Structure 1
Amino acid sequence: MNAELIQQWNAELRDRHPRDIVRWALQRAEGRAVVSTNFRPYEAVLLHLCVQELPDIPVLWVDHGFNRPATYRHAEELRRLLNLNLHIYHPKLSAAHYQALHGPPPGPEDEEGLRRFSALMKLEPFQRGIRELAPRVWLTALRKVQNPHRAGLDVVVWDENFKLLKVSPVFHWSDADMEAYLRQHNLPNEWDYFDPAKADEKRECGLHARWGSQVLSS
């Protein structure tokens, strides 16, 4: 993908409303778009934006089996409310199977353990989902305020891990912007969320970091 073209697109989209960015992305997808979610806080914003423009857009969710009960309830609430075309992918090991073999998910001090956990329980099923759904464009809820790594990204990037165009319509939105959208459209939110593949919010699980491609190809 031409880096200058991506830079041009980002300049054009910098001040556009996320709704317009979703439309822009769908036009370039030529019928092959997917939106990913983990049902973390504020995910309802992007999901609502996407289904307003393409009601049957495939929604890719990797359920690694370690989500908290509130996250599962929130996922079901949004599935019903937005009539999501939800495609759920699971790891080849269940959570119980993983813990019987390896113990509980690693803590934040075990970087290598977290990467192994992420590769097995999150990256492999996500890669499988991308392979089967075969999108040209991947819509995500990444925002620059989420962590230092994401602050260095942009609305449009070429994703080296999965070899497709990745578009983040709410990239420049603040928490206040997201809250306002939820209120405007009467959408639910949920805060009891934890991702064991990251262990803290400053770390990436591998989906959006370059090391992900290394473990996927190993």
Structure 2
Amino acid sequence: MNLLEKEALISDAAETFETASPEDLIQWAVAKFPNITFACSFGAEDVVLVDILQKISPSTDIFYLDTDLHFKETYETRDRMEAHYGMKFVRVSPKLTLEEQATQHGDELWKSEPTACCNIRKVEPLTAILGQYEAWITGIRRDQAPTRANSKKVEYDVKFGLVKFNPIADWTSEQVWDYIREHNLIYNPLHDQYYPSIGCEKCTRQVLPGEDPRAGRWSGFEKTECGLHK
């Protein structure tokens, strides 16, 4: 399939699946692009998609970016999900250990240059792993942030050069939690402690009443994304 054919396919699919269920879109995605993967952060949206993907295509790779800085609750959620589904998440690590990063870029880089830290511990590893696939699935939703408001359910990811599927782009937070409760899913207990968006422990705080759900990420910096999504 050449680029023009792929662009036409993506455009048609984005229109066709705009009102479709996540299950229908994922079913089509894994059939059309067998070499596909899902990026899991173990947040509420992603545990929903893990559940759907395990029911539709349990052999599809699901990876996570291990920054070595996640909350212990995040790692525990990973372990509980692996035991429940009888599967293993693919662990993707940065090239630099935290010690090597401190030696090369200074101690606690996340405090002085969080974007540089994200590039080392998230963006570069993501770029490497996505280079092995032709399509990927994410759990982003349009109402999470202004930077995600125009996300399509099917789009071409220019940054990483592959097809991107956002099956629950049109879902609200309430829909996510309705699914979690209905299916009794395992989820990160930090969500019950005022952490609606969970990233690395060093750069995530509790969200106060009335704050934006992503206000707890990189608090004090003009930064709302780690660089994984355009």
TM range (shorter): 0.7 to 0.9
Alignment of 1:50-69 (within 5 A): 50-69=53-72
- Contact kept, 8 Å, 2:42 with 2:187, in 1: the verdict is no
CA displacement at 1:202 relative to structure 2: 6.5
Aligned to 1:124: 124
SS across alignment from 2:144: coil
Aligned to 2:15: 11
CA displacement at 1:128 relative to structure 2: 1.9
Aligned to 2:26: 22
Which of 140, 150, 172 is matched with 1:142 structurally? 140
Q: How big is each residue's C-alpha offset from its partner over 1:93-140, in whole Å with a ceiling of 9 and x where there is no partner?
A: 223443455222434xx6xx2221122111111122223xx2222011
Q: Return the letter of the residue paired with 2:126.
A: F
Q: Return the letter of the residue paired with 1:48.
A: D
Which 5+ residue runs of structure 1 have no aligned equivalent? 210-218
The total of aligned residue pairs comes to: 202
- Contact kept, 8 Å, 1:56 with 1:84, in 2: the verdict is no
Which 5+ residue runs of structure 2 have no aligned equivalent? 205-216
* Residue 47 of structure 2 corresponds to residue 44 of structure 1: yes
- Contact kept, 8 Å, 2:26 with 2:53, in 1: the verdict is yes
Q: How big is each residue's C-alpha offset from its partner over 1:126-173, in whole Å with a ceiling of 9 and x where there is no partner?
A: 122223xx2222011111111111112111110112211000111111
Distance in 2 between the 1:157 and 1:20 partners?
Answer: 16
SS across alignment from 1:60: strand
Alignment of 1:1-218 (within 5 A): 1-2=3-4, 3=7, 5-29=9-33, 31-99=34-102, 101=104, 102-107=106-111, 113-131=113-131, 134-190=132-188, 191=191, 193-195=198-200, 196=203, 199=218, 203-209=224-230
SS across alignment from 2:101: helix
Q: Return the letter of the residue paired with 1:199.
A: W
- Contact kept, 8 Å, 2:141 with 2:168, in 1: the verdict is yes
Q: How big is each residue's C-alpha offset from its partner over 1:179-205, in whole Å with a ceiling of 9 and x where there is no partner?
A: 111112110222253344962597111
TM-score (norm 1): 0.84
Q: Return the letter of the residue paired with 1:205.
A: C
- Contact kept, 8 Å, 1:26 with 1:137, in 2: the verdict is no
Q: Return the letter of the residue paired with 1:47.
A: V
TM-score (norm 2): 0.80
Q: How big is each residue's C-alpha offset from its partner over 1:34-72, in whole Å with a ceiling of 9 and x where there is no partner?
A: 011111233210111111111121111110111011111
CA displacement at 1:75 relative to structure 2: 1.2
Aligned to 1:216: none
Distance in 2 between the 1:28 and 1:6 partners?
Answer: 11
SS across alignment from 1:67: coil
SS across alignment from 2:89: strand
Compare 80-89 and 152-161 and name the one that shifted more: 80-89
Bigger relative contact order, structure 1 or 2, given CA contacts below 8 A and separation 6+? Answer: 1
- Between the aligned residues of both structures, percent identity stands at 22
Aligned to 1:215: none
SS across alignment from 1:44: helix
Change in Cα spacing, 1:202 to 1:181, as seen in structure 2 (3 Å) is: farther
Distance in 2 between the 1:91 and 1:78 partners?
Answer: 23
